[in-house]
Chains A and B, each alone.
Chain A
C-alpha cells in the first residue's frame, strides 16, 4: 500500500476555525426572517486525529462542513488551515487539502462516469501524478479503500452504498488531502457496512496520519472512533473535548440530554 507524505507540521492543529458565523434569510416581505445557522463557532482539530462533531438535525453541523470546504461562501470569521488563513475564494491547491465525503453515496458520484474516469480526472486536473502513472495510482487508491481493481471500470449504478462510499473516500484520497470532512458519511449505510467504513477511516488515520472531521449523530460510533468530540446545539458548540471524558462526565446540560437520549437495551 502506498502512502503519501503530508506537509511538515506548521502548527499543532491542522484546522482552527474562529468565530464562524453564518446567517440565512428566508421568506419575503413581512415573512422575512433571519436564521442564524452558526453563531460564532470555534473549533480546532488536532493533527492526525479524528474529531467528532455531533448534534441534532439543524444544529449547524453540515453548515460548518460547507464553510470548511468553501461550498458555503457567505460567512464571517476565519478558517486557519495548517497555520495559514484560508480565503473565501480558494484556489485549486487550497481546495485540494480539504476533501469531503458526503452523506448520500447514491448522489455523490457522477452516474455518467466510471470510477476510473472520476479518479483519473482528479489526478489529471491536480497533476498529482504523471499521466502514465494514473492507472497505477487508481489501482493503489482502490487498494487503499479495499475495493477490487475490477470495480474501476464499473459505473456507480452497479455498486452498493458501502462500495460507493468507499469510492467517494478514494476520490477524496486521490487528492492527498490533510483533512477529510466526513459529513454523516456512514449515516445512510447499513450497520455492518458502517463498521467497515469506520474502520477504514481509523486505518487511514493510523497509516497516513490523515485528520478527519467526523460529523455524525450516532454517538456509539463517535465514541469508538474519535479522540475528541464537539457537541453542537443551535449553531453553537456547547462542549468540546476528549471523547471519554465527555461521555463519562459531560459538563453541559445539552450534552447530558443528548447522551441520555441513547436508547439502552436492558435485559
Chain B
C-alpha cells in the first residue's frame, strides 16, 4: 500500500542528493536519516518497494498466465505435445533456479525488463506443472466426462470446468512466488545485476550501506533488510489468507 502511494508519502525525491547532510541520523526532515550521498532513506525505501514489489508482482503474472494455460492444455489433451512441453519443463527445472536466472539476466543485460523476462522464462514451469497435475486429477472425474456426454465443446470444458477447479493451487503458489521473486530481485540487485542506479531498490541499499557497517552505521543496512523481511512476511500471510478463503469455498 505504502509503495503505491509513495510519491505522496515521501518528503524528498529518492534520487535527490544533499551532500551537506550525509549519513545523518533520524531528523524531522529525514525520519529514517540519510545515506552516504545525502539521499533520504525513507523515500528510497518506499520507492525501492515500488520497483521491487512491482517487478516481483509483474514477474508472477506472466508465468502464472502462461503456465496455467500450458498446464491445462497439456493435462487435458495429453499426447506428444504434452510430452514435449513437459520434457522442456524438466530441462528448465533441472538447473538450479538462481543459476539459470542469473545467467539469463547476464544475457539480457541489467534492468527491470530483463529480471522480469528471466524470472518468467524459468518460473512458468512451476505453474504448468501444478496446473497440469491438477488437471489430470480433475479430467478423470465424472463431471468432466458428463460435460463430454453433454456435448460441450472442448474449449468450453477447459475454460469453464477444468480451469476453475484447478487454478486454486496455482493462485496459492503465485502468492508464495511473489515472495520468492522479491528475494530474487533484491539478491540480484545486491550483486549489482538487477535494478540499475539511480532507480532505488532494497538490494542496492543493502549493498551500498554495507561499507558503513564498520563505522557503526547499521541503519543503512538494517532498514532495507527489515523492509524485505516485513514485505515477505506480510505477503506470505496474505497468501495463507487467500489460500484459506479459496479452500473454504470448496
Within the assembled complex, what's the spacing in Å between the Cα atoms of A90 and B151?
Answer: 9
- Chain B: residues with Cβ within 8 Å of the partner, total of 18
A108 in contact with B149 given A121-B160, A125-B156, A157-B250 (CB within 8 Å): no
When C-beta atoms are compared, the residue in chain A nearest to B152 turns out to be A125
The reply on B145 being an interface residue by CB < 8 A is yes
When C-beta atoms are compared, the residue in chain B nearest to A97 turns out to be B151
Residues of B within 8 A of A214 (CB): none
CB distance from B161 to the nearest CB of A (A): 5
Cβ contact within 8 Å between A121 and B141: no
Cβ contact within 8 Å between A175 and B143: no
Within the assembled complex, what's the spacing in Å between the Cα atoms of A126 and B152?
Answer: 9
Cβ contact within 8 Å between A175 and B150: yes
The reply on A110 being an interface residue by CB < 8 A is yes
- Chain A: residues with Cβ within 8 Å of the partner, total of 30
When C-beta atoms are compared, the residue in chain A nearest to B141 turns out to be A107
Within the assembled complex, what's the spacing in Å between the Cα atoms of A112 and B165?
Answer: 7
Residues of B within 8 A of A70 (CB): 148-149
CB distance from B134 to the nearest CB of A (A): 13
Chain A 179-198, CB within 8 Å of chain B: the 1/0 string? 00000000000000000000
Within the assembled complex, what's the spacing in Å between the Cα atoms of A29 and B161?
Answer: 37
Cβ contact within 8 Å between B156 and A71: no
CB distance from A118 to the nearest CB of B (A): 9
Residues of A within 8 A of B165 (CB): 110-112
Cβ contact within 8 Å between A71 and B149: yes
CB distance from A203 to the nearest CB of B (A): 22
Cβ contact within 8 Å between A110 and B150: no
Cβ contact within 8 Å between B143 and A107: yes
Cβ contact within 8 Å between B250 and A111: yes
Q: B residues near A, CB below 8 A? A: 141-143, 145-153, 156, 160-161, 164-165, 250
Q: A residues near B, CB below 8 A? A: 69-71, 90-93, 95-96, 98-100, 102-104, 107-113, 121-122, 125-126, 157, 168, 171, 175
11 A-B pairs within 8 Å (CB atoms) are namely A71-B148, A71-B149, A100-B149, A102-B146, A107-B143, A108-B143, A108-B146, A109-B143, A111-B143, A121-B152, A175-B150
